[in-house]
Amino acid sequence: MAEQKKAVFFGELLMRLGTKQFERFVQASEFTVGFTGAEANVAVSLANYGLETYVVSQVPKSDIGQACINCLRKYGVNTDYIKRGGKRLGTFYLETGASQRPSQVIYDRANSSLTELKKGDLNWDEILKGKHWFHFCGTAPALADNMPAIVDEACAAAKKHGLTVSCDLNYRKKLWSKEKAREVMTGLMQYVDVLIGNEEDADNVFGIKAQGVDVTAGKMDEKRYADVASQLYDKFGLKYVAITLRESISASENNWSGMLYDGDQAYFSRKYNIIIVDRVGGGDSFSGGLIYGFLTGMSARETIEFAAAASCLKHSIHGDFNLVSLEEVKTLMQGDASGRIQR
């Protein structure tokens, strides 16, 4: 029997408060409540596909912190390495856009529980022993001045234990400047095997861009992105670079695809036209698809098709988690995009 693949995810856990029925913040009298976190979103995806996933984080020792942990457990994620401590769970508020009105996010995550961790608080040797993959996002080191050292500690331990390390750049201008992001993320790239992002991330964090591309114009020349991936691959000595390709026709309609570069060839996925229910977590679901493909021995072509199909389906699901099965992703990946009722 093949060994069960195990993946570890480190990052902040958050409460999501969203307006209902496309209301604006100034209209809302109530919010829907959910729990999320970029790395946790990826963990849930992989748990749905049948892999063992472990989230490493810290939440307050309170009913809210416990509710967050219970949410992850509900979807099969191992929470043994989530510490209890600190004073508060970070929060973000979401106003979902429609048509030509974009969505809006307001963060309230200063001094969250995770940022009260210190280097050495987590026993990375214990956490990573017997695991195969370690994933983090660019939001984790952006949260506070102490966080880059903790992420560096985790990545160094992951490499010591022979894990593959992936990173989603996930640049958030509301968390840190381009200059700070470039300084910190450049240092962390020494550990990274698989780098994930989009064309804006590559530009904002590393100043690498696809020439002649306007992501707001609703169309793009896909082949130019091979150059972006090649630059990232060569600059940091990576094994793979994956880029999400989102063409924003409006807040309600996007074209979606992905690209995977292995140093020799750029593999482009099928393109999907998406009518969006909820795009938050779309990039995380793409990361989950990639990691699943790599851990289960898919070819580069199969991996990017699986990741693109998985993230396409996520856009149809309310909330941050990609609550689709392995079979549903494979059905879409293999060509059935009809959306017909399954009986």
pTM comes to 0.93
pLDDT attached to residue 112: 96
Alpha carbon dihedral 33, 328, 76, 283, in 10-degree steps, equals -60
The token duo for 105 is 């996010």
**The architecture CATH gives domain 38-66+75-80+120-332:** 3-Layer(aba) Sandwich (3.40)
| pLDDT tens track for 291-312 | 999 999 999 999 999 999 999 9
Residue indicated by tokens 């307050």: 60
Pairing of strands 52-59, 6-10: parallel
Write the DSSP string, 69-121: HHHHHHTT-B-TTEEE-SS--EEEEEE--BTTBPPEEEEE-TT-GGGG--TTS
pLDDT attached to residue 342: 58
pLDDT attached to residue 280: 87
pLDDT attached to residue 339: 58
pLDDT attached to residue 278: 86
pLDDT attached to residue 335: 82
Nearest in space to 107 (alpha carbons), one of 200, 173, 41, 31? 173
Write the DSSP string, 135-201: EEETHHHHS-TTHHHHHHHHHHHHHHTT-EEEEE----TTT--HHHHHHHHHHHGGG-SEEEEEHHH
Q: Evaluate whether 57 touches 43 at the Cβ level (below 8 Å).
A: no
| pLDDT tens track for 190-203 | 999 999 998 889 99
Radius of gyration for the alpha carbons in the chain, expressed in angstroms and rounded? 19
Q: Evaluate whether 77 touches 55 at the Cβ level (below 8 Å).
A: yes
pLDDT attached to residue 109: 92
Helix (H, G, I), strand (E, B) or coil at 206: helix
pLDDT attached to residue 343: 46
Residues of the chain with pLDDT below 70 are 1-2, 211-220, 336-343
